[in-house]
Amino acid sequence: MTRKLLVALICLASFTTAAAGVIAYDLGGMLYIADDDGTDARLVTDQIGPDALGLVLDLSPDGGSIVFAAHTDEGWDIYTVGTDGSGFTRLTDFSDWDGLPSWSPDGARIAWSSMETDDGRPDIFLMDADGANRERLTDLENWARWPVWRPDGGYILFGYGASTYESPTVIELVLADAETGDLEQFPDLGAEIIEPCWSPDGTSIAVSAKFPGAESFDIYILDAYWGKPEQLTFSDYDCVHPCFSDDGRLFYNTVESLDFWGDDAGTETVEEYPADICRIFVLDLETGESREVCPGNDPDWGPGVE
């Protein structure tokens, strides 16, 4: 075998093993899943309509289920469904807003943010994967949003700040003990922050952030202990919804403007939701190269299920 042919086969093997999992995502307010190279996209369920625009979702650790928040005429609630479309289940029935769900690493529990509080400000809540045993983890003065479990399952990172529907960003990251609710504040980054996520080994955190003077949100990666940010994307569009794959790639999506998610979010129809508003990309953290995967919003990576 010649050296050139050997190199070509090695490169081909590297490319073909890249699609080792799947991504779930929102497209036009509908829930889709595809191979993580963007191929073989399929609709997961038709039990939510296009008025559910603004899905926020998380794939279960085993890749078999999706937990997501969707808007209907009854408000925002948390649902689960199998990646094959089976087992569609509504977990919450609060009349206002439940959102931003996140699976625990063992798939047994779900953290989410809820306005089912005395003052109407969202706090972090926990429940079993079937919706049972709900409990409130935080009781804070400002908005607590974007909960995400640390890979060891012992702590939950979330965003905290004086947010509103019109301005959903936060200014602090806080770490909560998942059992006691004890809090530890992350070093102040001096930026507007949304959507933190952990690296698979728990040593790094990716966020979408907008620093003073910046025109748009970009993806940054932080050391989980020191908090020093490194900018990963440099886009004219907002770069949001970062998530890691198990092999260390970083998925995210671009959006034309975060103003799109204003007071009217959840009311547009799929015909009013052009696919080019949101597009999913994957970033190679070793080379810094980014490539487009497919149209969509809020990607989350998971292992493929046979």
In a domain, 15, yes or no: no
Return the SS3 of 260.
helix
Strands laid side by side in the 297-303 sheet:
42-43, 30-35, 21-27, 297-303
Q: Are 88 and 46 in contact (CB under 8 A)?
A: no
Instruction: Please report which helix (H) or strand (E) contains residue 127, including its range.
Output: strand 123-128
In a domain, 164, yes or no: yes
In a domain, 289, yes or no: yes
Model confidence pLDDT, tens digit, residues 171-199: 789 999 999 999 999 888 889 999 999 99
Backbone dihedral angles phi then psi of residue 164, each to the nearest 5 degrees:
-140, 175
Work out the pLDDT band at 50, boundaries 50, 70, 90.
Answer: low
Highest mean pLDDT out of 141-145, 152-156, 270-274: 152-156
How many Cα atoms occupy the beta-carbon half-sphere of 15 within 13 Å?
6
CA 269 to chain centroid = 22
Q: How far apart are CA 111 and CA 168, in angstroms?
A: 18
In a domain, 3, yes or no: no
Give percent helix, percent strand, percent coil of the chain, each to the nearest 5.
10, 45, 45
| Domain carrying residue 226 | 42-303
CA 4 to chain centroid = 41
The pLDDT of residue 260: 43
pLDDT reading at 13 higher than 70? no
| CATH code of residue 181 | 2.120.10.30
Model confidence pLDDT, tens digit, residues 279-299: 999 999 999 999 999 999 999
Model confidence pLDDT, tens digit, residues 95-110: 778 999 999 999 999 9
Q: Which of 235, 157, 256 is nearest to 199 (CA)?
A: 157
In a domain, 7, yes or no: no
Report the domain count for the chain: 1
The pLDDT of residue 269: 37
Model confidence pLDDT, tens digit, residues 233-275: 999 899 999 999 999 899 999 987 555 444 444 433 333 444 5
Beta-ladder partners of 117: none
In a domain, 23, yes or no: no
Q: Give the CA distances from residue 38 to residues 13, 195, 281, in Å, rounded to whole numbers and listed in that order.
A: 18, 22, 10
Q: Which of 249, 231, 247, 238 is nearest to 279 (CA)?
A: 238
In a domain, 208, yes or no: yes
Return the SS3 of 82.
strand
Work out the pLDDT band at 19, boundaries 50, 70, 90.
Answer: low
Which has more pLDDT, 172 or 151? Answer: 151
Within 10 angstroms of residue 285's Cβ, the number of other Cβ atoms is 16
